[in-house]
Structure 1
């Protein structure tokens, strides 16, 4: 059984997508990042960076004590290796998957995240910052589009954790100032993953948490005004 510490963010969706895809039993433990659950001591023991998602594997393959993992890319890799699914044992195919997993973690996610911040949440609209991140997000979309021009999925013809990592960051493409029709190969890939039963189930899980009332100003302070003093 996997305990999933989760909220309805792109990084949170990655893990529900994986778990639904491989049908691995799991329990969702909601961490409402808008009310500060991510700072609770019991969560910080599992995720010292006070970010979701995180997991506790209560049945690790070595039969030992539970294993906790934070960082969505590390979780995907851990679960893929645990189940032997969505990553190849072939050294070359595995390298393809890992390159694109880290591409998402180091590029698409952070750049799209800054895009969201400056275009949607920043109290002051800074044109340079908005243009910078909207344009960089577009460049990364174009990288994916070119990559997908001659293969079904990001790492080849097999669905993998590289696809799962990238997909949730494409879902809010309109908020990122992008048009999927400008990237036809990416659009074809996106629609195919959107239609997968496991993807549908994963996003249905998120619906249970969307109606929770938040104090918008308090949420902004919790999410965007952290510093070294936040770490106790």
Structure 2
């Protein structure tokens, strides 16, 4: 029979046996679809020829409502919001997470992942079909710019929260036996953050292409379909689970 100290405590076993299950691959799927065209002779708004790159251009789109403005506005708020976050240096909390006890640090891994899961759930809710439909409009009903900007800003806020979460985990003060586990935990947010960056990049590129085509010929049918899939690296989660098990046995 092994030494009692070599066995995971109940809290450690809980983390190993399933408390990571809230963060899984393929957790979020959202879609943005645009289908726009104009008949010859139709009176249509002017085309704003690119996705906004500044707050002033965002304000212009809100006030002037150019062609397909809800999607132009949405892509612009996302582009400017992510750019501004990435330009800012990472902020370390004044009171970093601190655990003098190894078991307490390991036990806290589950609440940390729950916190990340909550952020991801907030992001998922922004793709609610009814909210998106009301924001972007339907045939015979215009979109609502406040809802469009609210959706985009909530998505940017979720990205920023993931970034702050990763920093707080990475800078936590924990016993040396748990350093590796916390380092791995901090990287769980990397892939969903990267997925958001890819989504925004594809959206901005697609809307810019659509605007360029529309500037040349508004009578053509303009179709844009962008999917946002947020995933988590299951190999990383598996490595993290093993590391937590190892940390529970170290002295």
Structure with the bigger RCO (C-alpha within 8 Å, sep 6+) is 2
TM-score between both structures, scaled by the size of structure 1: 0.29
Structure index of larger Rg = 2
TM-score between both structures, scaled by the size of structure 2: 0.27
